Structure 1
Amino acid sequence: MTRWSRRQKKTSSRKAKTLISALRTAAAEQQHPAVAPRGEQLARRYRQVRDFTTRLCQNLQPEDCVVQSMPDVSPAKWHLAHTTWFFETFILKVWMQRYRAEVPQYAFLFNSYYNAAGDMHRRDLRGLISRPTVQETYRYRTSVDECVLQLIASANDALLDEIEPVLILGFNHEQQHQELLVTVIKHVFAQNPLFPIFVPAVPTPSQHRPGAQHFVPFDEATVPIGHEGHDFSYDNEGPRHRALVHAFSLSNRLVTNGEYLAFMEANGYTRPEFWLSLGWTTACEQQWQAPLYWEKRDGEWWNFTLTGFRRVDEAEPVTHISYFEADAYANWDGARLATEFEWERAAADLAIEGNFVDRERFHPAPAPGGEQLQQMFGDVWEWTRSAYLPYPGYRVAPGALGEYNGKFMCNQMVLRGGSCATSRDHMRLTYRNFFPPEKRWQFTGIRLARDLS
Structure 2
Amino acid sequence: MSTAVDIRSEVLRQQFREVRQRSEKIAAPLEIEDFVVQSMPDASPIKWHLAHTTWFFETFVLQPSLADYVSPWPQFEYLFNSYYNTVGRPFPRSERGLLSRPTVTDVWKYRRYVDERIEEVMSTLDAQLLTVIELGVHHEQQHQELMLTDLKHAFSCNPLCPAYVDQAAIGETAASDRRWIAYEGGISSIGYDGDQFCYDNEQPAHQTLLEPYALASRLVTSGEYLEFMADGGYQDPQWWLSDGWNFLQSQQIVAPLYWRQQAEHWLQLTLGGLVPVSPSQPVHHVSYYEADAFARWAGHRLPTEQEWETAAQTELASSDSIQGLFLESEEFRPLPASLDATNRMQQLFGDVWQWTASPYTAYPRYRASAGALGEYNGKFMCNQWVLRGGSCVTPQSHIRATYRNFFGPGKRWQFSGIRLAKSI
**Equivalent residue, structure 2, for 1:425:** 397
| 1:327 aligned onto 2:292 | yes
Deviation at 1:96, TM superposition (A): 1.9
Aligned to 1:187: 153
TM-score scaled to structure 2, two decimals?
A: 0.95
Mapped pair 1:248 → 2:226: no
The alpha-carbon deviation at position 240 of structure 1 amounts to 0.2
Residue in structure 2 matched with residue 99 of structure 1 by the alignment: 69
Contact 1:384–1:416 under 8 Å retained in 2 = yes
Using structure 1 for the length normalisation, give the TM-score. Answer: 0.89
The aligned residue for residue 450 of structure 1 is 422
1:260 to 225, 236, 251: 225
1:436 aligns with 2:408: yes
Give the drift of 1:44: 1.5
Which deviates more from structure 2 when the two are superposed, residues 429-438 or residues 368-377? 368-377
Alignment of 1:84 with 2:62, yes or no, is no
What do the CA deviations read for 1:34-60 (whole angstroms, capped 9, x no partner)? x99443322211110000000000011
Secondary structure at the counterpart of residue 303 of structure 1: strand
CA shift at 1:406, angstroms? 0.4
Q: 2:371 aligns with which of 396, 399, 402?
A: 399
Alignment of 1:141 onto 2:141:
no
Q: Per-residue CA shift, 1:85-126, capped at 9, x if unaligned?
A: 000000000002321101111000000000111111100111
CA distance in 2, matches of 1:384, 1:275: 16
Q: What is aligned with 2:382? A: 410
Structure 2 residue corresponding to 1:217, chosen from 173, 182, 204? 182
User: What are the equivalent positions in structure 2 for 1:3-402 lying under 5 Å apart?
Assistant: 37-153=7-123, 155=124, 159-202=125-168, 204-206=170-172, 208-348=173-313, 349-350=315-316, 351-369=321-339, 372-402=344-374
Q: Residue 24 of structure 1 corresponds to which residue in structure 2?
A: none
Q: Secondary structure at the match of 1:244?
A: strand
Aligned alpha-carbon RMSD (Å): 1.3
Which one has a larger percent helix, Structure 1 or Structure 2?
1
SS state at 1:98 partner: coil
Distance (Å, rounded) in 2 between the aligned partners of 1:160 and 1:203? 50
Gaps (5+ residues) in structure 2? none
Give the conservation status (yes or no) of the 8 Å contact 1:335–1:448: yes
Percent identity, aligned pairs only, is 50
Secondary structure (helix, strand or coil) at the match of 1:82 reads helix
Of 286-295 and 159-168, the range deviating more from structure 2: 159-168
* Whole-angstrom distance in 1 between the partners of 2:363 and 2:277: 39
Match for 1:333: what amino acid?
A: A
2:126 aligned counterpart, secondary structure: helix
Give the letter for the 1:337 counterpart: L
In 2: Cα distance, 1:73 partner to 1:300 partner: 29
Tell me the distance in 1 between the aligned counterparts of 2:298 and 2:239.
10
Larger radius of gyration: 1
CA contact (8 A) 2:169 2:275 kept: no
Q: What whole-Å deviation, never above 9, does each CA across 1:203-247 have from its counterpart, x for those lacking one?
A: 5424x3123311111112101000002210000001000000111
Verify the 8 A CA contact 2:192 2:204 in the aligned structure 1. yes
Counterpart-to-counterpart distance in 2, 1:96 and 1:36:
19
Distance 2:327 2:364 in 1: 33
The offset of 1:160, in angstroms, is 3.2
| Alpha-carbon contact 1:250-1:448 (below 8 Å) kept | yes
Query: Does the aligned pair in 2 maintain the 1:388–1:411 contact within 8 Å?
Result: yes
Aligned residue for 1:184, secondary structure, equals: helix
Aligned counterparts of 1:97 and 1:174: Cα–Cα separation in 2: 25
The code of the aligned residue for 2:63 comes to K
Structure 1 residues 146-179: Cα deviation after superposition (integer angstroms, max 9, x where no partner): 00001114x1xxx332321000000000000000
Matched residues, number: 413
Structure 1's unaligned 5+ residue stretches are 1-34
